[in-house]
Amino acid sequence: MQGGLAINLMHFARALRAAGLPVGPGKLLQAVEAVEAVGIGNRVDFYWALHAVFVNRRDQREVFDQAFHVFWRNPDILKRMMGLMLPTIRTESPDAQDPLSRRVADALRGTAPEAEGPEKSEIEVDAAFTVSAQERLQEKDFEKMSAAEMAEAKRMLARIALPVAEVTTRRHRPDPQGPRVDPRATLRRMLRSGADLADLARRSRRTRPPPLVVLCDISGSMTRYSRMLLHFMHAVSNDRDRVHSFVFGTRLTNITRHLRHKDVDVALDAVSAAVADWSGGTRIGTALHAFNRTWARRVLGQGAVVLLITDGLDRDAGEGLAAEAERLHKSCRRLVWLNPLLRWEGFAPKSSGIRALLPHVDDFRPVHNLNSLAGLADALNRDGPRRAESLRKWLKEAA
């Protein structure tokens, strides 16, 4: 292969890696071999040869597609590569693009050589009263994060704990100050030591965190958030026991076993291979019906808490959704709805899916940045009434 084409492939691989794809030297060598096999005479063959090498999961397709068409933007680029000319990379301002394109633009801008010029004098700024970078990142919407910010946010998500207030079980444990007498332990004590009957053994109820069930929407309208929320679900699954995770678009898929891998990349690769309806339509009622029929009795025992993560935009216009949401609400101890649309000040429950869900949830919270997830942890760890006071406003608007 000619040196110019290999250099182009190297810069393209660097851009994909900066955009968040797991690209290493091995992938670059495979890409060179693939291009040598298919040639560069056909743009479609060239695209799919690189796609087969660099794309491992469904959620990487859109990043690769945009990076490919920006990096190899000129239709005659394949002919010019034969003349050993590097492609011109033209990227618009990130603020004028959609969030995913911003990741690609930032990555491609990082691969372009910096123009030489006079050195700028360093300007010292007093940052005593400015917000730290970490605080800004916690408040930034997942949809507006660059590739570097998303990578840092994923590292922060891995450290998030989700404490849930413990519930009382039917089992007991020895407790000298317990409210109940333990007859069996008392008799064993008397037989063993000849103690007086007045020396009673006592016990109290055990407490433990309830099961946690997560139902996450991975439809096209939730694509920007589902990638980050899967990292959150992986962190929660590895932080505590009895976590059951499901994703849904047009069908329901149980991904609990896949998220138990300690390595987040291995876990998400397994999830991607198991899910067939990624970034498609949304049938919330159908998904909840499948959950209630197949999984509810298995995972909703012992006071389970359910997190329903969806924007409420239903392809079936809410058909059958109210009945399934009511059944789910009655089967669990608490049903919390996390909706990224709540980040907008002018949000109103006008969609039929949202209006069908609202009367059957106990809390309605936003989920669009790190702070919203931290607020969720605080809310679940507090003891209080089942239905949140903040829900009343939304119920009045939906009525």
Range of weakest confidence among 4-8, 188-192, 385-389: 385-389
Instruction: Please determine, for residue 133, whether its predicted confidence score (pLDDT) is greater than 50.
Output: yes
Instruction: Give the whole-number percent of the chain exceeding pLDDT 90.
Output: 14
pLDDT value for 31? 87
Q: What is the mean pLDDT of residues 348-359?
A: 86
User: Cβ contacts of residue 138 below 8 Å, gap of 6+?
Assistant: 156, 369, 370, 371, 374
Higher pLDDT among residues 84 and 13, named by residue: 13
pLDDT value for 3? 62
pLDDT value for 9? 86
Range of weakest confidence among 4-8, 135-139, 258-262, 290-294: 135-139
Q: CA dist 220 to 125, 172, 249, 263, 356, Å?
A: 42, 48, 8, 26, 21
Counting DSSP H helices and E strands in the chain, the numbers are: 17, 9
* DSSP state letter for 368: S
Instruction: Please determine, for residue 195, whether its predicted confidence score (pLDDT) is greater than 80.
Output: no
pLDDT band at 292 (very low <50, low <70, confident <90, very high): very high
pLDDT value for 257? 93
Rounded to whole angstroms, the Cα distance separating 279 from 239 reads 28
pLDDT value for 121? 41
pLDDT band at 325 (very low <50, low <70, confident <90, very high): very high
Higher pLDDT among residues 269 and 246, named by residue: 246
pLDDT band at 114 (very low <50, low <70, confident <90, very high): very low
Q: Which of 304, 281, 157, 274 is nearest to 219 (CA)?
A: 281
Q: Which of 248, 392, 238, 229 is nearest to 328 (CA)?
A: 248
pLDDT value for 105? 58
Instruction: Please determine, for residue 377, whether its predicted confidence score (pLDDT) is greater than 70.
Output: yes
Q: What is the mean pLDDT of residues 15-30?
A: 83
Q: Which of 336, 318, 348, 328 is nearest to 379 (CA)?
A: 336
pLDDT band at 397 (very low <50, low <70, confident <90, very high): low
Q: What is the mean pLDDT of residues 287-314?
A: 91
Q: Which of 249, 284, 281 is nearest to 354 (CA)?
A: 284
Instruction: Please determine, for residue 12, whether its predicted confidence score (pLDDT) is greater than 70.
Output: yes
pLDDT value for 126? 38
Rounded to whole angstroms, the Cα distance separating 257 from 273 reads 13
pLDDT value for 296? 92
Q: How many residues does the chain have?
A: 399
The SS3 of residue 133 is helix
pLDDT in tens, 149-173: 777 877 887 777 777 777 788 888 8
Q: What is the mean pLDDT of residues 384-390?
A: 61
Q: What is the mean pLDDT of residues 77-99?
A: 41
**Cβ contact 368:340 at 8 Å:** yes
pLDDT in tens, 41-87: 888 888 898 989 998 877 788 888 888 888 877 444 444 444 433 33
**Cβ contact 143:225 at 8 Å:** yes
pLDDT value for 294? 94
pLDDT band at 290 (very low <50, low <70, confident <90, very high): very high
Q: What is the mean pLDDT of residues 181-209?
A: 82
User: In what side-by-side order are the strands of the sheet with 180-181?
Assistant: 167-174, 202-208, 180-181
- Identity of the highest mean pLDDT range in 134-138, 157-161, 304-308: 304-308
pLDDT value for 66? 82
* Mean pLDDT, the chain, whole residue set: 77
Secondary structure element (H or E) that encloses residue 239, with its range = helix 223-239
Quote the Cα angle for 287-290-296, to 5°.
Answer: 110
